[in-house]
Structure 1
Amino acid sequence: MKRSVPLVWLAFAFLLPASCLQAQYNEKYRPQFHFSPKKGWIGDPDGLVFTDGKYHLFWWGHAVSEDLVHWKELPHPMKGDDGSFSYFSGSVVVDKENTAGFGEKSMIAVYTKHFRGDSLPETQALSVSNDGINFYYYENNPVLDIGKFFFRDPQVFWYAPEQKWVMVVSLPDIQKIHIYESKNMKDWKYLSEFGSLGAQNSFWECPDLFELPVDGDTTNKKWVMLIGRGPNRVQYFIGDFDGKEFRADEATAAYLVDGKGLKGNLFAGFDETSYGKWKSSGTAFGNAPTTPDSVGHHLRRGYASSLQKTKAKGTLTSPTFKITQRAINFLVAGGNHPGKTCINLLVDGKVVRTTTGDNSAVLKWNGWDVQDLKGKKATIKIIDDDDGDDWGYIAVDHLLFSDVLQNQELEHALWLDYGPDFYAARTWRDVDQVSARTTMLGWMGNWDYARDVPTTWGKGFESVPREIAIKSFAEGNRIVQKPVPELQKLRKEVYQFSDKSITGTEKVSAFSPAKNVYELDVVFDTRSSATFGLNLLAGNNRKLIVSYDPTTSNLSVDRTQCTYFTSNPDFNKAFATKMHAVVEPENNQLRLHILVDQSSVEIFTNQGKVVLSALTFPGEQQTGIELFSKNGNARLVEFKAWELTSIWKEHEN
Structure 2
Amino acid sequence: MKNPLVMACLSTIFLSVSSFAQQADREVQAYRPLYHFSPLKGWIGDPDGLVKHDGKYHLFWWGHATSTDLVHWQELSRPMKEGMGFSYFSGSVAIDKANTSGFGKNSMIAIYTKHFAGDSLPEAQAISVSGDQGMSFEYYKENPVLSINKFFFRDPQVFWHKKDKLWKMVVSRPDVQEIQFYQSPDLKNWKYCSSFKALGAKNSFWECPDLFELSIEGTKEKKWVLLIGRGPNRVQYFVGDFDGKSFHSDQTMIDYLQSGKGIAGVVFDDFENPAYPKWKNEGLAFAENKEMADYLGKGYASSPSVKNAKGNLISVPFTINHKAINFLIAGGNHPDTTCINLVVEGEIVRSTTGDNCKVFKWNGWDVSSLIGKKAHLEIVDQSTDSTKGFIAVDHIMFSNQLTNQQLEHALWLDYGPDYYATRTWRNYDEHDSLKDTVIAIGWMGNWDYARKVPTTWGKGFHSIPRVMSLRKTLTGLRVVQQPISQLQSLRRNGFSAQNLKIRDIQEIKGFKPERNTYEMEVAFTPVSANVFGFNLLVGEGRKLSIRYNPALGDLTIDRTNCTDFNTDESFTQVFAKKYTVPLTLKDGRLNLHIFIDRSSIEIFANDGEMVCSASTFPSDKQLGVQAVSENGTTLLDLKAWQLESIWK
What TM-score do you get using the length of structure 1 for normalisation? 0.94
- Tell me, in whole angstroms, the C-alpha distance in 1 between the residues paired with 2:100 and 2:24: 41
Q: Counterpart amino acid of 1:334?
A: G
Question: What is aligned with 1:489?
Answer: 489
Is 1:235 the counterpart of 2:236? The answer is yes
Question: What is aligned with 1:15?
Answer: none
- Tell me, in whole angstroms, the C-alpha distance in 2 between the residues paired with 1:127 and 1:173: 26
Question: What is aligned with 1:441?
Answer: 441
Question: What is aligned with 1:523?
Answer: 523
Is 1:393 the counterpart of 2:390? The answer is yes
5+ residue gaps, structure 1, are: 1-19
Q: Counterpart amino acid of 2:74?
A: K
- Tell me, in whole angstroms, the C-alpha distance in 2 between the residues paired with 1:463 and 1:626: 25
Aligned residue among 325, 334, 347 for 1:328: 325
Aligned residue among 410, 423, 426 for 1:413: 410
Question: What is aligned with 1:548?
Answer: 548
Question: What is aligned with 2:125?
Answer: 124
Q: Counterpart amino acid of 2:480?
A: V
Question: What is aligned with 1:357?
Answer: 354
- Tell me, in whole angstroms, the C-alpha distance in 1 between the residues paired with 2:379 and 2:559: 31
Question: What is aligned with 2:74?
Answer: 72
- Tell me, in whole angstroms, the C-alpha distance in 1 between the residues paired with 2:40 and 2:200: 37
Question: What is aligned with 1:167?
Answer: 169
CA contact (8 A) 1:529 1:551 kept: no
CA contact (8 A) 2:226 2:237 kept: yes
CA contact (8 A) 2:30 2:619 kept: no
Note the alpha carbon deviations across 1:617-640, whole angstroms, 9 max, x for none: 01221110001111222222x111
Question: Which of structure 1's runs of 4+ aligned residues deviate more than 4 A?
Answer: 20-23
- Tell me, in whole angstroms, the C-alpha distance in 2 between the residues paired with 1:510 and 1:630: 22
CA contact (8 A) 2:305 2:386 kept: no
Is 1:197 the counterpart of 2:194? The answer is no
- Tell me, in whole angstroms, the C-alpha distance in 1 between the residues paired with 2:52 and 2:110: 14
- Give the CA deviation at 1:567: 2.1
Question: What is aligned with 2:647?
Answer: 648
CA contact (8 A) 1:505 1:629 kept: yes
Q: Structure 1 residues 620, 23: closer, same or farther in 2, change over 3 A?
A: closer
Question: 1:225-624 to 2 correspondence within 5 Å?
Answer: 225-286=226-287, 290=289, 294-307=291-304, 309=306, 311-433=308-430, 434=432, 435=434, 436-526=436-526, 528-624=528-624
- Give the CA deviation at 1:489: 0.4
- Secondary structure at the aligned position of 2:492 is classed as coil
Note the alpha carbon deviations across 1:16-43, whole angstroms, 9 max, x for none: xxxx999822211110100000000100
Q: Counterpart amino acid of 2:253?
A: T
CA contact (8 A) 1:527 1:550 kept: no
Q: Counterpart amino acid of 1:535?
A: N
CA contact (8 A) 2:23 2:647 kept: no
Question: What is aligned with 2:18?
Answer: none
Question: What is aligned with 2:14?
Answer: none
- Tell me, in whole angstroms, the C-alpha distance in 2 between the residues paired with 1:21 and 1:481: 31
Question: 1:92-171 to 2 correspondence within 5 Å?
Answer: 92-132=93-133, 133-171=135-173
CA contact (8 A) 1:342 1:357 kept: yes
- Give the CA deviation at 1:310: 5.0
- Secondary structure at the aligned position of 1:458 is classed as coil
- Secondary structure at the aligned position of 1:567 is classed as coil
- Tell me, in whole angstroms, the C-alpha distance in 2 between the residues paired with 1:240 and 1:251: 13
- Give the CA deviation at 1:540: 1.3
Question: What is aligned with 1:224?
Answer: 225
CA contact (8 A) 2:306 2:389 kept: no
Note the alpha carbon deviations across 1:232-259, whole angstroms, 9 max, x for none: 1000000110001001110110110011
Note the alpha carbon deviations across 1:102-157, whole angstroms, 9 max, x for none: 00000000000000010100000000000111111101000000000000000000
Note the alpha carbon deviations across 1:254-313, whole angstroms, 9 max, x for none: 110011121100001000131002101000011x7x4x7x21110011000002645410
Aligned length: 623
RMSD between aligned residues: 1.3
- Tell me, in whole angstroms, the C-alpha distance in 1 between the residues paired with 2:457 and 2:83: 28
- Tell me, in whole angstroms, the C-alpha distance in 1 between the residues paired with 2:566 and 2:90: 30
Question: What is aligned with 2:186?
Answer: 184
- Tell me, in whole angstroms, the C-alpha distance in 1 between the residues paired with 2:24 and 2:144: 36
- Tell me, in whole angstroms, the C-alpha distance in 2 between the residues paired with 1:199 and 1:572: 27
- Tell me, in whole angstroms, the C-alpha distance in 2 between the residues paired with 1:494 and 1:75: 37
- Using the TM superposition, name which of 409-418 and 468-477 deviates more: 468-477
- Give the CA deviation at 1:564: 1.7
Q: Counterpart amino acid of 1:180?
A: Y
Question: What is aligned with 2:37?
Answer: 35
- Tell me, in whole angstroms, the C-alpha distance in 1 between the residues paired with 2:218 and 2:439: 15
- Give the CA deviation at 1:410: 0.2
- Secondary structure at the aligned position of 1:147 is classed as strand
5+ residue gaps, structure 2, are: 1-20
- Tell me, in whole angstroms, the C-alpha distance in 1 between the residues paired with 2:561 and 2:83: 48
- Tell me, in whole angstroms, the C-alpha distance in 2 between the residues paired with 1:189 and 1:311: 53
Q: Counterpart amino acid of 1:337?
A: H
CA contact (8 A) 1:327 1:404 kept: yes
- Give the CA deviation at 1:527: 5.3
Q: Counterpart amino acid of 1:102?
A: F
Question: What is aligned with 1:6?
Answer: none
- Tell me, in whole angstroms, the C-alpha distance in 2 between the residues paired with 1:341 and 1:631: 36
